[in-house]
Structure 1
Amino acid sequence: MARAVLLLPILLMMACGAQGTLVGTGIRVGLEGSIATLDPRLAVEARAMQIGPLIYSSLLEMDAKGRLTPDLARSWSQPDARTYLFRLRRGVRFHDGKEVTADDVRATFISIMDPLHRSPRRGSYAAVKAIEVIDRYTVKFVLQDVYVSFPYALTVGICPEGSPWGQRDPPVGSGPFILQRWRPGEELALIANPRYFGGRPRLDWIQFRILANTTTRLLEMKKGAVDLLQNCVPAYAVKFMQRVAGLQVIQEQGITYQYLGYNLLDPVLSHKEVRQAISHAIDRQAIIAHTLKGLAIRADGVVLSPYNWAYEGNIHQYAYDPGLAKELLDAAGFPDPDGEGPRMRFSLSYKTSTDMEAIEIAQIIKGYLKMAGIGLEVRSFEWGTFFDDIMKGNFQVYSLRWVGVVDPDIFYYLFHSNSVPPNGANRGRYRNAELDSILEQSRRTVDQARRKELYSRIQKILAEDAVYTSLWYRDNLVVLRKGFSGFQIYAGGEFRSLQDVFREGNHGASAERP
């Protein structure tokens, strides 16, 4: 009976919008691409991870500056170097009314670790020896070895025990908003959770609209059908947005890392000199100045931004040098077949999304590589198809970005030999025994000065091997309709602050997080 009483307000709210009507005050957010899954045990794509914290609560969360803070955990401690103890908030409930307990926490991580589920997150928990439920509100993680960055792996949304795996409809969460409807490729609608332990959100609903076409996305913002665009406005449109009455443009220096990735199993790209040549052949600064209108800074590091404590800038650098690019191609055994003639040394396929700016940049890169004698076929795909190909290794060259990287342990996830999908994001199939050893040592090293030395060596190896071609760090750019207050940009682009956003003149319910 008590559970039925708890569920009644939620069911009434969901019924109000069953036919598509969103009741009360809300905000409409435009997204540039679709979402493959919302299940936090599977989701690794940026948009899903940015929306996820609105639906799911986690043991720990990262604040706007990338610092770990308690979420479902009331407190946490580390009795020894291999043990982590978490005490949960009491009375927190999933959206279906069931209380969140230590059994749910354990079940969430056990399901990720199950090799039969092939979760792309599984590699982050290789060090876990056991997960023990001490009592209803206490859970203990015991590791096989020291893993300094382990707390960062505990920001995954918690699902109810027994949640089915691999279903289209994701499990229920316990976050500030409830998933009301999801129409893949079209929209995602959330309604406020009146029982949220952190206090009811100020907005009644959030509608995420999938607007893959750039022109459509901008026009919808202009005419008032969208209220918020985050990091999906092309540089050429910024001045246009600034001139539209009723809109505000917010710009901040960001840490989003754009890069070219390579399939190292490819017979051409397996040559380090070829990847180095491509890196020297591209005038990144010219692209930043002319195409990106200065809304980025050149990336002279590997993945980490210059603001990260482990960043190493003293690495092999790839200045624009088309002459050197040609020399490297010659040395790799790919001579120019006809001097200044039209024939290419070889040709590659470059995969990207259907985003207009991404395609434009791909065409510019094609022009630079042509001058070095490399042919490039630019192929654009709908986001889901594109990302699926990258995960499967079905590519030669692609361009993507890593968003909001704070923990340098990401290098293990990206480049360790054991991190080939689905166990991680070593999508290029890079293998280096020396690097593997250093990565493993970095996870076990507690002293931060020593860890910095190890990460310095890791970045130098990766730069020398040109596993990625570093392009730039993109500024954060938000277009927000005037009248909304409380929005905050997060390092990873999470929409978490939407739980605190309100429409001026209609502040709605608010409460301090306990």
Structure 2
Amino acid sequence: MLRLLGTAAVTVLALTACSAPDATGSTSAGSTFVVATSGEPDTLNPILGYGTDGAALIFDGLVARDASNTLVPALAAELPTVAADGRTVTAKLRPGITFHDGSPLTADDVVFTYTAVLDPAVDSTLRSDLDMLTGVTAPDPSTVVFTLRYAYAPFLQRLTLGIVPAKALRGQDVNKSTFNQKPVGTGPYRITSWTPGDRLALAANDTWWGGKPANSGVIVAFVADDNVRAQRARAGEFDAVELAPKLATAFPGHTVHRTPTADYRGVMLPMSDPVTGDIAIRRALNAAVDRTAMVTGVLAGAGDAAYGPVPPTSPFHVATEPVPVSLDEAGWVAGADGIRAKNGQRAEFTLMYPATDSLRKELALAVTADAKKAGIEVRPEGLTWDAIEPRMTSDALIMGWGTPYDPDFVSYKLFGSQFAGQGFFNPGGYRSPIVDRALQDGRDNADPAKRQAAYATFQQQLAADAPWVFLTYLRHTYVVRDDVAGVTPRVEAHEHDVANSLWWNIHTWTRR
């Protein structure tokens, strides 16, 4: 999960490429595009979690995703082959690919990248994503062989991970390497500078194996505050900008793209709290929230009601409804002020949200109003991420996750007991043997029918336990100048800032 900045970057970008409009009214000189987003990565190293789902601009994986999110070959000459038993995967590299520094890509670089993720000394958040992987070898400079513990159906989708040059990191402490801020990849763009809290500047890689980019570069501006980002967009600073749905108005000469996603927002409820740890309270809150009103009011129609973490667009989706509950029968009795209590404990809790995120603030306020009707008092509190993180195990939080890819992605770590209390994965400490077994069965089985059954069990049990109150699926909203050509929206995941945003194919963008 990309960590959002705690302060807004309000300084006008001090680069010639975005300093003044050209004759067409564009703010970008030549063919450099300026895009703006709310989030900023902590690192630019794929081993440590940057751009792992592809479209990372600086890096390429063995495979990539096209406009329909279908896997296509990238650094691999063709889609890797899977052995009959599903436990050996072989990839052949395209010939003649080089990194930005001119050094050749070889199978050794692929082996190093994946081995580093598996190394316990490396602080990679991806290690558990690859726990099916027992080894990676290079029988020759153009061949890579992956050996799996078990047949893992979506393994090819894990091969979108960007490949790093082994020579740049071998023998170093990967966690502290300067490579993390000044990386070298094989992608369509090379980094020229990264000013944390402000911008990332990229220049076209004219020798990219996929063909010379159609423009000379990209500047990604990091502006955490939604309102400030909208103000700067209206001032003409950006060619494309991510905005909250209600802010994407009054932009003459621009097109608004409402991009379909698997990105959900919900209330994460900690199990350690005496109120949110009570299943009756969680079920009552789950039933009380008016998701339709949130989509209409908060999202201005740019979204859909959410009842679980597997999106309706997924073949694994199972429709679930909130479980009915009587708070009176559960011992939560309404007081004179309408707020319920049980054994002297008032039905009240704090709901945190990042203060710079206007959308999450509005969702928190909507939840607060709906909860009060059920006799539950919610205290919304806008904070910085630095203040939020230490409290996630004890206070509720408006969170976001979601993936349009395989249901194993994200959910395995977000709801698995073994990850309880580990940062942004399962911060509320939810534990369920039934969910654990279902998630593991979905991961272990290659048989589609068995996976279907496993994820149905997972979704049904999650609905019964309500460790989250899922609220809405978003449609990511972007405002793009009308003179920009080549924009191709595709279904997006939660993580969509520098990588996997509307500008996933920005190397093909031109000006009309």
TM band (smaller chain): 0.7 to 0.9
Question: What secondary structure, in the 3-state scheme, does the structure 2 residue paired with 1:107 have?
Answer: helix
CA displacement at 1:269 relative to structure 2: 2.2
Question: What secondary structure, in the 3-state scheme, does the structure 1 residue paired with 2:336 have?
Answer: coil
Q: Is 2:129 the partner of 1:144?
A: no
CA displacement at 1:140 relative to structure 2: 0.6
CA displacement at 1:421 relative to structure 2: 6.5
Name the residue aligned to 2:379. Answer: 377
- Map of 1:84-483 to 2, 5 A cutoff? 84-161=89-166, 162-163=168-169, 164=172, 165-167=174-176, 169-230=181-242, 233-241=243-251, 244=252, 246-300=253-307, 302-313=308-319, 315-317=320-322, 327-328=326-327, 330-338=328-336, 340=338, 345-353=346-354, 354-383=356-385, 385=386, 388-389=389-390, 393-410=392-409, 411-420=411-420, 425-483=425-483
1:249–1:478 contact (8 Å) kept in structure 2 = yes
Stretches of structure 1 lacking an aligned partner (at least 5 in a row): 1-18, 319-323, 505-514
- Shift in CA distance, 250/424, structure 1 to aligned 2, threshold 3 Å: closer
Q: Distance in 2 between matches of 1:424 and 1:338?
A: 38
Q: Distance in 2 between matches of 1:138 and 1:205?
A: 32
Question: What secondary structure, in the 3-state scheme, does the structure 1 residue paired with 2:138 have?
Answer: strand
2:339–2:375 contact (8 Å) kept in structure 1 = no
CA displacement at 1:307 relative to structure 2: 1.5
Note the aligned Cα RMSD (angstroms).
2.6
Task: Tell me the alpha carbon deviations over residues 353-378 of structure 1, each in whole angstroms, 9 at most, x when there is no partner.
Answer: 12123212212222222333333232
Q: Decide which of 63, 66, 84 is 2:66's aligned counterpart.
A: 63
- Shift in CA distance, 331/178, structure 1 to aligned 2, threshold 3 Å: farther
Q: Distance in 2 between matches of 1:422 and 1:342?
A: 32
Q: After the TM superposition, which of the residue ranges 454-463 and 355-364 deviates more from structure 2?
A: 355-364
Q: Distance in 2 between matches of 1:74 and 1:387?
A: 45
Q: Distance in 2 between matches of 1:152 and 1:65?
A: 14
The two structures have a TM-score, normalised by structure 1, of: 0.84
Q: Distance in 2 between matches of 1:267 and 1:64?
A: 46
2:203–2:217 contact (8 Å) kept in structure 1 = yes
CA displacement at 1:251 relative to structure 2: 2.8
Q: Distance in 1 between matches of 2:465 and 2:487?
A: 41
1:128–1:144 contact (8 Å) kept in structure 2 = yes
2:53–2:160 contact (8 Å) kept in structure 1 = no
Identity of aligned residues (%): 27
* Matched AA of 2:159: L
1:52–1:157 contact (8 Å) kept in structure 2 = no
Task: Tell me the alpha carbon deviations over residues 229-259 of structure 1, each in whole angstroms, 9 at most, x when there is no partner.
Answer: 23xx223233423xx2x21122344332222
Stretches of structure 2 lacking an aligned partner (at least 5 in a row): 1-13, 18-28
User: Number of residues paired by the alignment?
Assistant: 466
Q: Distance in 2 between matches of 1:424 and 1:340?
A: 34
- Shift in CA distance, 389/57, structure 1 to aligned 2, threshold 3 Å: farther
1:404–1:491 contact (8 Å) kept in structure 2 = no
CA displacement at 1:341 relative to structure 2: 7.0
Question: What secondary structure, in the 3-state scheme, does the structure 2 residue paired with 1:151 have?
Answer: helix
Q: Distance in 1 between matches of 2:250 and 2:424?
A: 40
Q: Distance in 2 between matches of 1:119 and 1:422?
A: 13
* Matched AA of 2:246: Y
Q: Distance in 2 between matches of 1:177 and 1:96?
A: 12
Kindly indicate which of the two structures has a greater share of residues assigned to helix.
Answer: 1
Task: Tell me the alpha carbon deviations over residues 46-68 of structure 1, each in whole angstroms, 9 at most, x when there is no partner.
Answer: xx568962011111222222222
